[in-house]
Amino acid sequence: MHRMTADISELLRLLHNLIRLGTIAEIDHDAQRVRVKVGNNLTNWRPWVTIRAGDAQTWWPPTIGEQVILLSPEGDFDHGVILPAVYSDQFAPPSTDPAHHTTRYADGAIVQYDSAAHALSATLPDGTSITVVPGQITLDAAESLCTGNLTVQKNLIVSAMSSLNGGMAVTAGASGGPAARIEGKLEATDDIVANGISLTGHKHGGVKQGNDASGGPQ
């Protein structure tokens, strides 16, 4: 009877340990392993579950204090895998709106898609940089707004009308040549000044009626 009672107790313990809640206590990023605290127990080094780990891979490791689920085949912690994650008082969700798909990062950056408002937003901290490696980017939007400076290191090609509402400063390139070249007619609603000489206000000297040509601008 004592042996049967012990066997039943051991079976109940194994069943109890099949699925347990715990928190990340230690992490080894290079080995992709963590140790999880479950009650008063600390597991050995176990892998965590990721989204993809085949011909495509993802990397988003859990963090110390994160609440996770420990899945242990046959109730043995030594063979368990870690399934992130469960919200906790320490790490609350970044949104509770059912229309939001939101990720909040450790530095405070928030990337969110609001399916109700059809709006994708990225709120990034100061000093954030965005890098796109060589290739082609197609921005097929009716309107695009850049609220800061825009620097183009190579050619800028515009296939439709351009409107410059704050003026334009043009400097010749290092190879020399004209600072600007216009093929076609140039229209100006005000004066054009070249080297201090007004196009509409300058006068010509040495002019006589008849077929004589005027002198240069003065």
Using CA atoms, how far apart are residues 85 and 203, in angstroms rounded to an integer? 81
Alpha helices in the chain (DSSP H): 2-16
Q: What is the pLDDT of residue 199?
A: 86
Domain ranges of the chain: 1-83, 93-132
Using CA atoms, how far apart are residues 218 and 209, in angstroms rounded to an integer? 19
Using CA atoms, how far apart are residues 102 and 114, in angstroms rounded to an integer? 8
Which residues are bridge partners to 113 per DSSP?
A: 101, 120
Q: Which CATH superfamily is domain 1-83 in?
A: Gp5 N-terminal domain (2.40.50.230)
Residue 17's CB: how many other CB atoms inside 10 A?
Answer: 17
Contact between 217 and 197 (Cβ < 8 Å): yes
Residues of the chain below pLDDT 50: none
Q: What is the pLDDT of residue 46?
A: 97
Q: What is the pLDDT of residue 172?
A: 87
